[in-house]
């Protein structure tokens, strides 16, 4: 049975709240300000282990009882975290073996956070104990909105506990050392193992690691952390608490987890998302994070953290204006978030993150930033009805899907591929960005996922895949889909073994080509294709077998050879792009693929006008979100009412502002 979609009565609004850093007068002001901003949710306890369990096995919940009472008596709900991302100093002193070890053998000590060896039995026992304690004490509170297990799983340990657990994992996977030797190809470089005990995590080595070893360790780490999550989740469940359970993923560069598998184990999927650029591309980044998470979740999800006032860019923070903060928050919601939550409620006065942005900045509530938070609270109140999700949980109307696969990412990070300049996340993201720029809604899909509703599927740089995935792609094309596969895909199987006889071995028949040799390009070198596109990084010498040539290389070492090919497959087609198109060329190429497939953008002309239009399905109506990222007001005409401004049918949206239109019909047009 498909579980009901996560659908709270109102959007959760608020953020991480760590009152333990403040005296009681501040707690009183916090509640007043939360009420003023219509905050309805505080995430508490994320890093409170040392306060909650000051000595091993001795708990001190009085302060948390008081925090919860104060919130609850003013109608503010809470998400309760288990504090296991940050073990207290007493824990590491008592259990030095539970400290994580880096690949070079350095043991990391306490004094920061996230310092734990996830496979250490003492850590796991302590984590279960505190999770159960919290669940027994607070799990039935009627203002408890959810469980936030741990925080951003992702500390990787290479020490003895990890080695033991890794060997157990390998034994379950391979059964015998001989089988492992076969899969890992250990005949080369004298790597043959005689016993399980000889195998280590991929620690510091003299030269290159074995790629199969590296990818298996990534798989193991994801599984091992998932097991640790499950143990806490099960403790919470065993207490009888019925509040939804999640753990917050970190995007965009955190690649320690297989999010598809993890998502299946949560009641609601949540992420933390921090913009990685101050440019307009930040808005595309919001859409990327949100589309990925909605896809992992298969429906509504939670934005657990974002920054209210700043964007960290390399070595400094750039201020995020109020309009942008509101547009970004609504951008996530348009794509299925049931929340606008922030890190954190009040800016710390000291400590490690004292300069991190907050809902209440250092200067206090009499600020532009806090006024913005009040405005956002008011906006969320006006659009509250949107939070009721449709019963099937599907929120968008995307007809395009991009394949996303954690194992594909891990495979493309193995050492010494033909070019180190290929980044999986960049390829996936530039594919998404191209569709975002032309205003098409997009989902992500796991290999083998339900593909029926899509007209176009793009497979960016999926280096390793199974034969089942190849067949699934073939079925999609056979039944009328347009498949676009980009360079560096299908070269290896899941054991990181190149499939011989011509590239890309996993997809040769489907694509109707035979690649002979890679011609990676030096950094910065650009080549042209016969259709006017520009490309770089990668090119391939290939010949067509059953495909036809769409574009040739017009410059570079492969001038005159096929660059882009297309094969008719059943009632659909399979296109191969053997080089890395520049973003500009990729934008045009993928927009054309969408047009060819007869897909309409959400609102014609929106992209050119600098606005973003996203449709979110609700239980009773569809809602058209308009985010005006431009510096001019825009007007759209159609049939419906803007829940934010109250305007009907002809709706003007100021520069930087938002509209959320309850649609009576979908025929909206931009007015000049
Ligand atoms: C993460 C953490 C928070 C905080 C922010 C800072 O998302 O969960 O505790 O450190 O990063 O951006």
The average confidence (pLDDT) of the chain is 96
Atom of ligand 1 nearest to the CA of 272: 7
Q: Which tens digit of pLDDT belongs to each residue from 157-208?
A: 999 999 999 999 999 999 999 999 999 999 999 999 999 999 999 999 999 9
Residue 506 pLDDT = 97
pLDDT digits (tens, 9 = 90+) for 428-457: 999 999 999 999 999 999 999 999 999 999
pLDDT band at 2 (very low <50, low <70, confident <90, very high): low
- Tokens 């707690």 belong to 27
pLDDT digits (tens, 9 = 90+) for 5-28: 899 999 999 999 999 999 999 999
pLDDT of 67: 98
Ligand 1 pocket mutation, candidates 248, 289, 343, 348, criterion most atoms within 8 A of CB: 343
> Which CATH architecture is the domain 400-596 placed in?
3-Layer(aba) Sandwich (3.40)
**Closest Cα to atom 7 of ligand 1:** 272
- CB of 381 closer than 8 Å to CB of 581: no
Instruction: Tell which CATH classification among 3.40.50.150, 3.40.640.10, 1.20.1530.20, 3.20.20.80 matches the domain 40-243.
Output: 3.20.20.80
User: How is residue 503 annotated by DSSP?
Assistant: B
Q: Per residue in 250-294, pLDDT tens?
A: 986 789 999 999 999 999 999 999 998 888 899 999 999 999 999
- Using only C-alpha atoms, the chain has a radius of gyration, in whole angstroms, of 26
- pLDDT score of 345: 98
DSSP string across 275-317? -S-SSTHHHHHHHHHHHHHHHHHTS-BEEEE--SSEEEETTEE
The ligand 1 atom at the shortest distance from the C-alpha of residue 152 is 8
Domain residue ranges of the chain, discontinuous segments joined by +: 1-10+251-389, 40-243, 400-596, 607-671
Q: What is the pLDDT of residue 278?
A: 84
pLDDT value, residue 1: 52
Q: What CATH number does domain 607-671 carry, 2.60.40.1180, 3.30.70.120, 2.40.50.140, 3.40.50.970?
A: 2.60.40.1180
Q: Count of CB atoms within 10 A of residue 490's CB?
A: 26
Residue 272, ligand 1, Cβ within 6 A: yes
Percent of the chain past pLDDT 70, that is, above it, reads 100
Q: Do domains 1-10+251-389 and 607-671 have the same CATH topology?
A: no
In sequence order, what are the residues at sequence separation of 6 or more whose Cβ sits closer than 8 angstroms to the Cβ of residue 94?
A: 56, 122
Measured CA to CA, the distance from residue 409 to residue 251 in angstroms comes to 14
Distance CA 319, CA 312 (A): 9
Q: And the tokens for 288?
A: 């990327």
Q: Both tokens of residue 323?
A: 């309009």
Look at residue 193 in the predicted model and tell me its pLDDT. Answer: 98
57: part of which helix (H) or strand (E)?
none
| H/E run at residue 272 | strand 270-273
CA angle 342, 345, 349 (to 5 degrees): 125
Torsion from C-alpha of 626, 629, 633, 639, nearest 10 degrees: -10
> Is 152 designated active site?
yes
- What is the per-residue pLDDT for 284? 96
How far is 193 from 180, CA to CA, in rounded Å?
Answer: 8
Cα of first residue to Cα of last residue in the chain, in angstroms, is 49
The pLDDT, as a whole number, for residue 384 is 97
Distances (CA, A) of 118 to 133, 224, 229, 308: 20, 8, 10, 31
The helix or strand, by DSSP H or E, that contains position 251, with its residue range, turns out to be strand 248-251
Peptide bond into 344 cis (omega under 30): yes
What is the arithmetic mean of pLDDT over 214-243?
A: 98
Q: How many C-beta neighbours within 10 Å does residue 473 have?
A: 29
| Of 149 and 397, more confident | 149
Task: Name the CATH topology of 1-10+251-389.
Answer: TIM Barrel (3.20.20)
Catalytic residue among 224, 235, 283, 305: 305
Ligand 1 in contact with 344 (CB < 6 A)? no
Does residue 153 sit in helix, strand or coil?
A: coil
Closest CA to 37 of 349, 240, 322: 322
25 is catalytic: no
Instruction: Give residue-wise pLDDT tens across range 551-606.
Output: 999 999 999 999 999 999 999 999 999 999 999 999 999 999 999 999 999 999 99
């Amino acid at each position: 049975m498909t579980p009901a979609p996560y659908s709270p009565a109102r959007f959760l609004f608020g953020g991480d709240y760590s009152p333990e850093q403040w005296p009681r007068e501040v707690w009183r002001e916090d509640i007043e300000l939360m009420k003023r901003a219509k905050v309805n949710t505080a995430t508490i306890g994320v890093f409170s282990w040392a306060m909650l369990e000051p000595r091993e096995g001795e708990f001190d919940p009085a302060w948390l009882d008081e925090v919860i009472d104060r919130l609850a008596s003013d109608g503010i709900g809470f998400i309760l975290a288990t504090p296991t991302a940050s073990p207290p100093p007493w824990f590491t002193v008592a259990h030095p073996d539970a400290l994580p070890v880096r690949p070079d053998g350095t043991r990391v000590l306490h004094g920061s956070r996230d310092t734990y060896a996830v496979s250490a039995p003492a850590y796991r026992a302590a984590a279960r104990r505190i999770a159960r304690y919290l669940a027994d004490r607070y799990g039935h509170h009627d203002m408890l909105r959810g469980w936030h297990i741990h925080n951003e799983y992702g500390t990787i340990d290479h020490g003895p506990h990890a080695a033991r657990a890794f060997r157990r994992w390998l034994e379950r996977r391979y059964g015998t050392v001989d089988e492992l030797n076969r899969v890992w190809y250990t005949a080369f470089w004298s790597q043959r193992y005689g016993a399980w005990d000889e195998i280590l995590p991929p620690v510091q080595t003299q030269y290159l690691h074995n790629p199969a070893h590296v990818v298996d360790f990534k798989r193991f780490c994801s599984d091992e952390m998932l097991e640790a999550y499950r143990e806490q989740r099960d403790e919470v469940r065993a207490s009888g608490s019925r509040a939804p359970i999640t753990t917050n993923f970190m995007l965009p560069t955190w690649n320690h987890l297989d999010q598809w598998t993890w998502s299946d184990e949560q009641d609601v999927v949540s992420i933390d998302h921090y913009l990685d650029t101050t440019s307009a591309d930040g808005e595309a980044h919001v859409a990327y994070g949100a589309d990925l998470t909605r896809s992992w979740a298969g429906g509504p999800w939670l934005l657990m953290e974002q920054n209210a006032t700043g964007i960290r860019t390399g070595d400094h923070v750039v201020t995020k204006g109020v309009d942008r903060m509101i547009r970004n928050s609504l951008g996530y919601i348009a794509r299925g978030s049931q929340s606008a939550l922030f890190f954190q409620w009040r800016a710390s006065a000291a400590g490690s993150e004292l300069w991190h942005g907050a809902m209440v900045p250092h200067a206090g509530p009499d600020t532009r930033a806090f006024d913005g938070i009040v405005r956002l609270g008011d906006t969320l109140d006006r659009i509250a009805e949107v939070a009721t999700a449709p019963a099937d949980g599907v929120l968008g109307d995307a007809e395009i899907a991009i394949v996303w696969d954690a194992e594909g990412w891990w495979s493309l990070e193995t050492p010494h591929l033909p070019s180190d300049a290929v980044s999986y996340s960049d390829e996936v993201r530039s594919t998404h960005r191209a569709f975002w720029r032309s205003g098409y809604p997009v989902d992500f899909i796991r290999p083998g996922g339900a593909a029926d509703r899509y007209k176009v599927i793009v497979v960016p740089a999926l280096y390793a895949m199974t034969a089942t995935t190849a067949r699934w792609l073939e079925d999609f094309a056979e039944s009328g889909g347009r498949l676009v596969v980009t360079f560096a895909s299908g070269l290896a199987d899941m054991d990181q073994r190149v499939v011989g006889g011509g590239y890309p071995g996993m997809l040769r028949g489907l694509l109707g080509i035979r690649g002979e040799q890679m011609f990676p390009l030096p950094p910065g070198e650009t080549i042209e294709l016969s259709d006017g596109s520009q490309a770089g990084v990668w090119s391939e010498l290939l010949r067509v077998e059953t495909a036809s040539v769409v574009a040739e290389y017009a410059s570079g070492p492969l001038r005159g050879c096929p660059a882009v090919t297309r094969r008719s497959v059943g009632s659909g087609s399979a296109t191969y792009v053997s080089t890395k198109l520049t973003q500009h060329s990729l934008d045009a190429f993928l927009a054309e693929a969408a047009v060819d497939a007869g897909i309409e953008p959400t609102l014609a002309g929106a992209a050119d006008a600098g606005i973003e239009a996203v449709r979110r399905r609700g239980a009773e109506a569809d809602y058209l979100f308009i985010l005006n990222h431009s510096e001019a007001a825009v007007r759209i005409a159609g049939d419906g009412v803007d829940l934010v401004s109250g305007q009907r049918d002809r709706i003007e949206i100021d520069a930087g502002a938002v509209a959320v239109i309850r649609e009576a019909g979908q025929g909206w047009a931009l007015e000049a």
